[in-house]
């Protein structure tokens, strides 16, 4: 049901690969979030196969119930890229060439000392009743069509291109066309080491005394809440309550991932980190180095999957390996201390355990993980039993290791 005075939006992502699960539909996530912040009520989203008839049916349904329809994908040069054909068929108009976009394509190929293939010329075509949206971040042309008070926007499916075109062209275009739309005030808080029920209990009923949009989302090792409020004063009140009731568990009030938040603390404190990984197989190091600029604080890691590597590179005692086994608190501590010494860092962090599905015993079941943290003054180790498949155990162990480092960094600050 449409709310009086509110503009609605609908998303249509096109491509057989989306329906078959070959490609993750990140465009729908991005567009849904951006349109919500702009003040639109996103009422529907769906994926559509690369078929002209199906595209026409989706347009007819969407434009009958939504003010703004955004379509993405299917604008490439190959025969299965039929989005522009479907739109032209729906409106019964021919396709025409955008000389500006074609010049853009020509320059792109000239820089690479190549001639534009005839097939690629299709990417500069658009329906005759549309207004071109020149793509300066790629090859495929975007376009939009105004239908009375409503609008259809068609964008390339490449996420980087879509996001840039939305920010620079579509967003201002939508705000000009839909003058009554009122941007919502967003607020995000990201938590670590606390569950959804605990968060809701600590927020309490008083948190929700005003009307606003609220969502809570669990991820591996963390939880985020996302709020869209009508006024900045409301967001200020909510943020103050979150700080007061849950501040010790909040790692960010912005849309960043946990490894980036940890990296910011390491950078601010001018501390360095190294890692020794066994059962996590390098996943912790991978998460850390996904952050741009991680080389400022992360010196490296040793994936010590065998006992020989633990002994030779990390200095773990062979006698302790025989006595306690690789999955033990003693070995975890020696791994953390060893990598810190070896790579000359402020902190050394280590993970050793049984990721499964094989290798578990009654005394050391699948999911048993030891995490150790050393800083040259004090070393600590924690024992956990994580449930899930092999990858889930590795993910949870990596996130928990980062959490222990994050808490230590806050104490050391």
Beta-carbon contacts of residue 235 (< 8 Å; ≥ 6 apart):
185, 186, 187, 227, 229
* pLDDT attached to residue 3: 52
Beta-carbon contacts of residue 172 (< 8 Å; ≥ 6 apart):
none
d(CA 261, CA 297): 13
* pLDDT attached to residue 310: 98
d(CA 67, CA 323): 70
β-pair partners for 370: 352, 383
Domains and CATH numbers, the chain: 8-177 (3.40.980.10), 185-252 (3.30.70.2860), 258-412 (3.90.950.20)
The two structure tokens encoding residue 20: 């078959």
* pLDDT attached to residue 6: 81
Q: What is the pLDDT of residues 293-316, one digit of tens each?
A: 999 999 999 999 999 999 999 999
d(CA 42, CA 8): 6
Q: Are strands 68-72 and 131-133 parallel, antiparallel or unpaired?
A: unpaired
Place of tokens 């604080």: 297
Place of tokens 């065998």: 306
Q: Are 75 and 81 in contact (CB under 8 A)?
A: yes
CB atoms within 10 A of CB 411: 7
d(CA 344, CA 300): 10
**pTM score, whole prediction:** 0.84
* pLDDT attached to residue 5: 56
Sheet with strand 68-72: strands edge to edge: 41-48, 8-14, 68-72, 150-155, 142-147, 131-133
Query: Which parts of the chain have pLDDT scores under 50?
Result: 1, 4
Q: Are strands 213-219 and 125-127 parallel, antiparallel or unpaired?
A: unpaired
Q: Are 14 and 27 in contact (CB under 8 A)?
A: no
* pLDDT attached to residue 170: 97
Q: In percent, how much of the chain has pLDDT > 70?
A: 99
């Amino acid at each position: 049901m449409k709310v009086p005075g509110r503009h609605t939006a609908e998303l249509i992502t096109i491509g057989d690969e989306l329906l078959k699960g070959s490609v993750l539909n990140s465009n729908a996530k991005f567009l849904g979030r951006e349109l919500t912040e702009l003040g639109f009520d996103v009422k529907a989203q769906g994926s559509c196969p690369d078929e002209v008839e199906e595209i026409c049916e989706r347009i007819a349904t969407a434009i009958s119930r939504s003010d703004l329809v955004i379509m993405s994908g299917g604008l490439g040069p190959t025969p299965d890229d039929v989005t522009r054909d479907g739109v032209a068929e729906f409106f019964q108009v021919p396709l025409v060439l955008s000389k500006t976009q074609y010049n853009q394509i020509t320059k792109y190929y000239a820089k690479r000392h190549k001639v534009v293939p005839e097939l690629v010329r299709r990417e500069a075509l658009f329906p005759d009743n549309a207004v071109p949206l020149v793509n300066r971040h790629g090859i495929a042309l975007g376009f939009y069509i105004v239908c009375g008070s409503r609008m259809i926007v068609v964008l390339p499916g490449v996420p980087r291109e879509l996001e840039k075109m939305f920010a620079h062209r579509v967003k201002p275009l939508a705000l000009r066309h839909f003058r009554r739309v009122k941007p919502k005030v967003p607020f995000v808080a990201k938590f670590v080491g606390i569950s959804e029920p605990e968060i809701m209990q600590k927020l309490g009923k008083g948190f929700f005394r005003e009307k606003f949009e609220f969502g809570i989302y669990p991820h591996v090792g963390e939880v985020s809440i996302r709020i869209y409020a009508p006024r900045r004063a409301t967001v200020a009140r909510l943020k103050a309550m979150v700080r007061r009731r849950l501040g010790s568990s909040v790692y960010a009030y912005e849309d960043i991932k946990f490894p980036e938040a940890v990296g910011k603390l390491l950078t601010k404190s001018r501390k360095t980190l190294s890692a020794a990984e066994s059962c996590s197989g390098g996943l912790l190091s991978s998460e850390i180095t996904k952050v741009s600029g991680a080389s400022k604080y992360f010196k490296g890691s040793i994936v010590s999957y065998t006992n020989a590597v633990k002994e030779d590179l990390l200095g773990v005692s062979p006698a302790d390996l025989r006595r306690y086994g690789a999955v033990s608190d003693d070995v975890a501590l020696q791994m953390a201390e060893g990598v810190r010494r070896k790579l000359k860092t402020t902190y050394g962090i280590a993970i050793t355990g049984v990721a499964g599905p094989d290798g578990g015993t009654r005394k050391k079941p699948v999911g048993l993980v030891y995490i150790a943290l050393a800083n040259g003054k004090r070393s600590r180790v924690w024992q956990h039993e994580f449930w899930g498949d092999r990858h889930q155990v590795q993910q949870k162990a990596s996130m928990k290791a980062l959490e222990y480092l994050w808490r230590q960094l806050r104490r050391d600050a």
